[in-house]
Amino acid sequence: MADSFPQKTLALLGSTGSIGTQALAVVREQQGRFRVAVLTAGQQWQLLVAQAREFRPAAVVIGEAFYQEVKAALADQPETEVLAGAAALEEVVQRPEIDVVLTALVGYAGLPPTVAAIRAGKDIALANKETLVVAGELITSLVQQHGVRLLPVDSEHSAIFQCLAGEAQNPIEKVILTASGGPFRGSSAADLASITKAQALKHPNWTMGAKITIDSATLMNKGLEVIEAKWLFNLTNEQVDVVVHPQSIVHSLVQFEDGSLKAQLGLPDMKLPIQYALGYPQRLQNNWPRFSFLAYPTLTFEAPDQATFRHLPLAFAAMQRGGSAACVLNAANEVAVAAFLRDEVSFLGMADVVAECLQAVPYLAAPTLADYAATDAETRRVATSLL
């Protein structure tokens, strides 16, 4: 272990999901550099218990329905406090020993504990893009007010963040987010009419949770990332662009005002951006596979098909409108994706639900945190009624 690296104490929100389990793989790889103080999960209580056995955190938080199971399973581990529910999430992230909070919860649920952590002065490793999609203006204001760092974990935003290192004095002309195009790149609307859940869950390059995998297939994931990039890097709507890059090697690019482009490249492995966020500002040595141009002699790029994949233009439109529009976009999409995973709406029907909610749910130009909560709830009600 490098003597110059101070040990960091972590709270991992969503430790049993795809990002959370890969973050713990990073902790194992970087022996002694990180200490896990908090682990949380919604439903996967057995995995949470196994993680608590290995990492001996000061606290675990589980969904209220599984509190008794976790409490009983960890009864012989008194150093680990067992808590449950949303209020507990907001409490544990504020504990004084925590240096970095990794927010890897899925969806709107990531917003309240992230706000609580920022207000407590914690650096945020952000894997919950919905936090900035829903409340970007509020979050960026809080980050500035409390002097904390917002460290992106999404591979695309991590790439932009890395490209901007040492460029503080150089204005950005635009950022270009790369998209794999998902499993249905090149398909027509007619091709997509009968797509099944099993087909949509097979991503060509990345291993991710079910929700984000469906979002990648519809290109909504890229739409959410566009909005997230705007807030993360203080950009105008016109400064964010998307290009489809099927190989997922170039993770994103920054174009400066002289026309120069900087890109960050690497194999499609989420452990690298997770490690960069947790270790920032240091790069930590690891033994993971390295990218070779000889293994990828051809890298290709193309425009996204926004006529067929309607989620992407819906996201751009919500970003342009501002206010509560992106909160509606996100909540409607969460309901639609959950319904698709239950075989209750078609692949193309998900975009219809999102579009109708954007029309039906009342718009607020300058929402507060309470307004976001109310808009999220109302959108879910409307979206459910449309199914």
Q: Is the separation of the CB atoms in 102 and 152 below 8 Å?
A: no
pLDDT tens digits along 124-160: 999 988 889 989 989 999 999 999 999 999 999 999 9
* Range in 24-28, 57-61, 209-213, 229-233 with the lowest mean pLDDT: 209-213
Q: What is the mean pLDDT of the chain?
A: 95
Report, as an integer, the average pLDDT of 24-39: 97
Confidence band of 2 (pLDDT split at 50, 70, 90):
very low
The proportion of the chain whose per-residue pLDDT surpasses 70, expressed as a percent, equals 99
pLDDT tens digits along 178-223: 999 999 999 999 999 999 999 999 877 766 788 989 999 999 999 9
**pLDDT at site 169:** 96
**pLDDT at site 3:** 57
For the beta sheet containing 59-62, the strands, ordered from the edge strand earlier in sequence to the opposite edge, are: 81-84, 59-62, 34-40, 8-13, 100-103, 123-126, 150-152
Nearest to 143 by CA among 132, 128, 153, 133: 132
Second-level CATH architecture of 8-152:
3-Layer(aba) Sandwich (3.40)
**pLDDT at site 106:** 82
pLDDT tens digits along 222-281: 999 999 999 999 999 999 999 999 999 999 999 999 999 999 999 999 999 999 999 999
pTM of the model: 0.93
Domain boundaries, the chain: 8-152, 157-268+287-306, 322-387
349: how many CB neighbours lie within 10 A of its CB? 16
User: In CATH terms, are 8-152 and 322-387 the same topology?
Assistant: no
Confidence band of 347 (pLDDT split at 50, 70, 90):
very high
pLDDT tens digits along 301-325: 999 999 999 999 999 999 999 999 9
Count of CA atoms in the C-beta half-sphere (13 A) of 146: 20
Whether residue 1 has pLDDT greater than 50: no
Second-level CATH architecture of 322-387:
Orthogonal Bundle (1.10)
Q: DSSP for 85-103?
A: SHHHHHHHTT-TT--EEEE
Helix, coil or strand: residue 284 = coil
Burial 242-255 (b: 16+ CB within 10 A, else e): bbbbbebbbbbbbb
